[in-house]
A and B are shown apart, each in its own frame.
Chain A
Amino acid sequence: MQNFWSLFAAYLAFWAIFFVYDFTVARRLARVEKDLTQMKQQLREP
């Protein structure tokens, strides 16, 4: 297949961009959820 590596690089870039983006969002989400759970627990404490 002509230009196979260019095609491969383009699809790899596509997946890499979305994977990295989704990973960063998931990590930030996990951190905020953890903080929020801890703070809510502190609020419940007398």
Chain B
Amino acid sequence: MKRRTLTTVILAGLFFFAGYAVFFIAPDEATMHAIQRIFYFHASSGWAAMEGTGIVFFANVAYLWKRQPKWDWLAVSAVEVSLAFWSVVLVTGPIWAHPVWGVWWAWDWRLTLTLILWVLYVAYLILRTLIDDFERRASSSAIFGVFVFLGVPLDYLSIRIWRTQHPQPVLFDGPDSGLAPTMAKVFFFCSALMTFLMIVLVVQRYRLERLKHEAEETRLVLEERAETEYRNREVERRTALGG
């Protein structure tokens, strides 16, 4: 409990500083002005979502290889957290797009692929609710998760491969791309913070999955004990009647 409180306090402090940096330290963008400041949390949430899906992929492959429940718990935890980050991306993007593009949404490669990924990861969670047997559920969702992940690098590269309505990359894309130094510092700080938040949420969600498993095992032990007691009572009753 103490560790959770400490983490919350640290996160709150870092988010407070990030907010200050985004609104008061980062300079105003020349053409978009204030609305460009959405970028710091929108793009860094996209980074965290992709890192989260990277964890999902790693955990899915590890489960298929090792067949240990802990990898399945990690995968489902990372899927849920990544979905929260993808949701932020899909909600804040159109809010930025409306004043800048004049439309809320465009069916370009980046936006469409992101939406498809979001739908597929929701399907991943729905798929898990349809299968009761642990082994089958974990295997099926791991195979599904590995295939869904193939779309993530494509989503990342889409703005480099195709000409899209979505802005072209401002980082890691040749000598003409790039952010002003102060903007870049604020962006990298926000990205690191989102990664930290993603890890904290995955750890918390993983704990839930582990406890659910422990509860399920304890329930089975209790049921077994109740059944044994019932059988013993029956034997005693029949012995008494026979005697």
Contact = CB atoms under 8 A, between A and B. Distances in A.
A1 B122 CA distance: 37
A42 B212 CA distance: 17
Interface in A14-46: 14, 17-18, 21-22, 25, 28-29, 32-33, 35-36, 39-40, 42-43
A39 B211 CA distance: 12
A9 B84 contact: no
Contacts of B95: 6, 9-10, 13
Question: DSSP class of A's interface residues: helix, strand, loop or mixed?
Answer: helix
Question: DSSP class of B's interface residues: helix, strand, loop or mixed?
Answer: helix
A1 B207 CA distance: 43
Interface residues of B, number: 34
A46 to B, nearest CB: 11
A36 B38 contact: no
A2 B204 contact: no
A42 B88 contact: no
Contacts, number: 81
A5 B176 CA distance: 32
Contacts of B99: 3, 6
Interface string B15-51: 0000000000000000001110110011001000000
A39 B208 contact: no
Interface in B162-207: 197, 201, 204-205, 207
A7 B197 CA distance: 21
A32 B33 contact: no
Interface string B200-239: 0100110110011011001101100100000000000000
18 contacts: A1-B34, A2-B35, A7-B38, A9-B95, A10-B91, A10-B96, A13-B88, A14-B45, A14-B92, A17-B84, A18-B197, A22-B201, A25-B208, A29-B207, A32-B211, A40-B218, A42-B222, A43-B222
Given A13-B88, A43-B218, 15 more contacts: A3-B34, A3-B35, A6-B99, A10-B38, A10-B91, A14-B41, A14-B91, A21-B80, A21-B81, A22-B204, A25-B205, A32-B208, A32-B212, A32-B215, A36-B211
